[in-house]
Chains A and B, each alone.
Chain A
Amino acid sequence: MRKWSTKVLAAALGLSLLAGCGGGSGNGNGTGSSNGKGDDAAASQGTAQTASAANGGKKTELTFYYPIAVGGPLTNTIEAMTADFEKEHPDIDVTPVYTGSYADTAVKTQAGVQAKQPPDVAVLQSTELFSLLDMTAIVPLDDFIAKEGNDYLADFYPAFMANSQTDGHTYSIPFQRSTIVLYYNKEMFKEAGLDPEKGPANWEEMQDYAIKLKKDGRHGLEIPVTGFAYWMMQTFALQNGENLMTQDGKKVMFDTPENVEGLQYWVDLAAKHKAMPEGVTDWSTVPSDFLEGKTAMMYHTTGNLTNVKKNATFDFGVSFLPAKKQYGSPTGGGNFYIFKDISPEKQQAAWEFVKFMTEPERAAQWSIDTGYVAVRKSAYETERMKKYAGEFPAALVARDQLEYAAAELSTHNNGKVMKILNDNVQAALTGTLSPAEALKKAQTEADQALASFNK
């Protein structure tokens, strides 16, 4: 979304002109449609709004923006879920609005926030936290969470909460979340004389396996790059040391010796050992390559699990990513946010909705339908999840890896910082820069992009 930032600047010019004439009429709108709990509404004005509240229209209306990132007819699933919610809460009316990709959803949300007509609740990337805070678009959820009791948050996996929290506040609730895992073709493992029940445990083994598995017309391993180089870079950083940024989103640590070592390892797999395609591998073709046997192993999101399960014509395994000093993977995916310029009644209703959508049974079903990792521990205690995992143990691998998982790269000015890292990692992979040069350049540029937040 932040690739929009320059355009937004230009647009801001136009906006400031509008603000002059639109200010007066804009105010009423955020709260205007609230249906008041009778008494305060009656106290304030006796006009149209109270009239609608009086004639029994006590329904709180919510607009819910959601992106779809796994493809296919999931809009129907989401609509069914909201219909179930309305059955359980007859006083709340939810309008689910499909909003394209995560990036499109972010732009749409931003337009709404600027026009003082935000959605009431939305699923946006967990990494949007700081941009949403910089727009003062969202509310902290601490009060709602406190009412649910102390154990409420403890049931969510800490790795998924990592992108939700800053400065001691919680701003979002995980919904469709993933991590990166290793998918491997068991038949090719057997053919190469490797143990098909285990993936490679560490970097040395991985390199060894990848070299053994490659042959004409087949790569040993594919790691997708386009658009997600920063995400893949995080796996190496986490396995070899620390995450790439601080929890407050104001500093990044790109050019550490550990990261240089990690990137060097990644570059060598292709350039030196020829076990991976050289240069930049496309994110979206890696799964097709794996399914067609053009690669024996791949790094990809758990969001792909259902797809691979449905379409693989061979026996495949899923395992942790290989470790260096430790196991590690960043998380990814989308969280629920509740917006600011709406009435408290709507916020309360939005919280009910968020709670409903992430209930253990529903989280389990959503995980089974999509391949995302269920966000709560208790979801794995449900009957349907136990049954599913019994038939398909691979579904548990991503969950087990969560113990070693950490936050996805998320900072202020996130789009810019992400792009800087993406570009420079790609430069290293194509051989334009050495890994050390690339990360040093990324660090310098990112420091500049974050300078205004560190005053």
Chain B
Amino acid sequence: MPQKYVSKIGHSLMLLLAAIWLVPLIWMTVTAFRSRQTALSGFWSADFTLDNFATVWSAAPFTVYYLNTLLIVFGVFAVQMLTATMAAFAFARVPFAGGGIVFLVFLAQIMIPADVLIFPNYNILKQFSLLDTKLGIMLPYLASSFGIFLLRQVFKTIPLELEEAALMEGCNRWQVLWKVYFPLSRPTYVAFALVSISYQWNNFLWPLIVTNSVENRPLTVGLSIFAQSFEVGVQWTEVSAATLLVIVPLLVIFLAFQRQFIDSFIHSGIK
């Protein structure tokens, strides 16, 4: 049957893609534990060393960087969740004058790359005296037009009857939002969390530009000390070790959320 073949081809294509995706990750992990001389020799060898990690760890205050990254990433996401939920609810269910136009303006903002806004944002932070603070790093990202768009689309699909029923039961709008819309949109929140967290985790240029002191800088700045060595060419072992250090927590979060992701789909499907 042709359909059977199609699904087989589809599966093997996916496996192939997964394998391609895995290659750099595995290569990097292996390289991080190998000595410099054998790193690129191409043969699997038994030698194993933690020297690369020692070099990397001593070159930058990674503990501080870790804490900063965690604070920034989760701080931004927590506030984004609040602002995006409220805005999305307004756009989806609260008719107001000019709502369509305002929403269009929000949509247009998705198309502006964050890098373009570095100079104006820097200026604003300076006027607020927020340069070189963690709040300064977070501020431009506290509202997310992408999140608003995503949630608005989901809120629109939730049957009005549910809202009406909740109102009948004596809920006010605020309660309707957090007791009806919020729990029903859980998969979307998880998806948005993946996007937001990985973006903030990887963000490099903006934090580098607005901060000066070690106390306020995230992990990516520590990584860049090894990644940007254009004079000598790439130091593969050290770059790999540094990269591994930086991405391991993200990978763990990612895998954890992946399960959550699937679970929440099943959950909402049963209902």
Contacts and interface: CB of A to CB of B under 8 A. Distances in A.
A284 B234 contact: yes
Contacts of B221: 98, 100
A283 interface: yes
Contacts of B236: 288
B235 A72 contact: yes
Considering residues A95, A115, A307, which has the most beta carbons from chain B within 10 angstroms of its beta carbon? A115
Nearest to B41: A292
Contacts of B208: 99-100, 104, 108
Contact of A107 (B123, B126, B209): B209
A114 interface: yes
A177 B115 CA distance: 30
Contacts of A285: 233-234
Contact of A22 (B118, B127, B232): B127
Interface in B208-224: 208-209, 212-213, 221, 224
Nearest to A306: B232
A70 B229 contact: yes
Interface stretch (A10-18, A84-92, A242-250): A10-18
B117 interface: yes
Contacts of A18: 120, 123-124
Contact of B123 (A7, A22, A75): A22
B115 to A, nearest CB: 6
A265 to B, nearest CB: 24
A285 B40 CA distance: 11
A63 interface: yes
Interface in A80-139: 95, 97-101, 104, 107-108, 110-112, 114-117
Given A108-B208, A111-B119, A117 B230 contact: no
Interface stretch (B54-62, B74-82, B90-98): B54-62
B203 to A, nearest CB: 13
A72 B225 contact: yes
A69 interface: yes
B226 interface: yes
A68 to B, nearest CB: 6
B131 interface: yes
A292 B41 CA distance: 8
A168 interface: no
Contacts of A73: 55, 58-60, 225
A108 B207 CA distance: 10
Contacts of B234: 284-285, 288
B228 A68 contact: yes
A234 to B, nearest CB: 17
A303 B232 contact: yes
A286 interface: yes
Contacts of B229: 68-72
A223 B126 CA distance: 45
Classify chain A's interface size.
35 or more
Interface string A190-229: 0000000000000000000000000000000000000100
Contacts of B36: 311
B231 A303 contact: yes
Nearest to B125: A115
Contact of B126 (A10, A76, A95, A115): A115
B232 A304 contact: yes
Interface string A302-325: 011011000101000000000000
Contacts of A114: 119, 122-123
Nearest to B234: A284
A211 B182 CA distance: 70
A205 to B, nearest CB: 26
B232 A307 contact: yes
B162 interface: no
B123 A15 contact: yes
A304 B204 CA distance: 26
Contacts of B118: 7, 11, 107, 111
Contacts of A287: 232-233
Given A22-B123, A69-B230, A98 B225 contact: yes
A301 interface: yes
Contacts of B191: none
B238 A71 contact: yes
Contacts of A240: none
A253 to B, nearest CB: 27
A178 interface: yes
Interface string B83-126: 00000000000000000000000000000000111111011101
B215 to A, nearest CB: 12
Interface in B115-169: 115-120, 122-124, 126-127, 131
A365 B117 CA distance: 41
Contacts of A110: 119
A389 interface: no
Given A18-B123, A97-B212, A288-B234, A71 B37 contact: no
B224 A100 contact: yes
A14 B119 contact: yes
A7 B41 contact: no
B228 A69 contact: yes
Contacts of A371: 231-232
B37 A311 contact: yes
Contact of B119 (A8, A116, A283): A8
B40 A288 contact: yes
B131 A307 contact: no
B217 to A, nearest CB: 9
Nearest to B112: A10
A334 to B, nearest CB: 10
Nearest to A178: B231
A107 B221 CA distance: 15
A215 B174 CA distance: 75
B232 A68 contact: no
26 contacts: A11-B120, A14-B119, A68-B225, A71-B229, A71-B231, A71-B232, A73-B58, A73-B60, A74-B225, A75-B59, A95-B213, A104-B208, A107-B118, A107-B205, A111-B209, A116-B126, A283-B233, A288-B40, A288-B233, A292-B40, A300-B233, A307-B233, A307-B235, A311-B37, A313-B37, A371-B232
Given A72-B59, A108-B208, 12 more contacts: A8-B119, A18-B123, A68-B225, A73-B225, A99-B208, A101-B228, A104-B209, A107-B205, A107-B209, A112-B122, A284-B233, A371-B232
